[in-house]
Amino acid sequence: MMNAQPPVRDRILASATRLFDADSIRSVSADKVISDAGTTKVTFYRHFRSKDHLVVAYLDDQLGQLQAAVERERAAGRDACAVLRRLAAANGNAACRPGFRGCTFINAAAEYPADGSLVRDAVDRYRAWLHAVVADLLTDLGADRPHVVADQLIMLRDGAMVHGFMGDPASVTDSLVTAGRAIISAHVRAPLPA
- pLDDT band at 171; cut points 50, 70, 90: confident
Element (H, E) at 178: helix 172-185
Kindly list the domain boundaries of the chain, sorted by start residue: 1-48, 56-185
* Highest CATH level, class, for 1-48: mainly alpha
Q: What pLDDT, in 10s, does the model give residues 75-116?
A: 999 999 999 988 888 887 777 777 778 889 999 999 999 988
Residue-wise DSSP of 114-159: STTSHHHHHHHHHHHHHHHHHHHHHHHHT-SSHHHHHHHHHHHHHH
Distance, in Å, from the CA atom of 176 to the CA atom of 134, rounded to the nearest integer, reads 15
Domain 56-185 has CATH 3.40.50.720: no
Q: What pLDDT, in 10s, does the model give residues 60-86?
A: 999 999 999 999 999 999 999 999 988
- Could you tell me the pTM of the whole model? 0.89
Closest CA to 33 of 3, 60, 53: 53
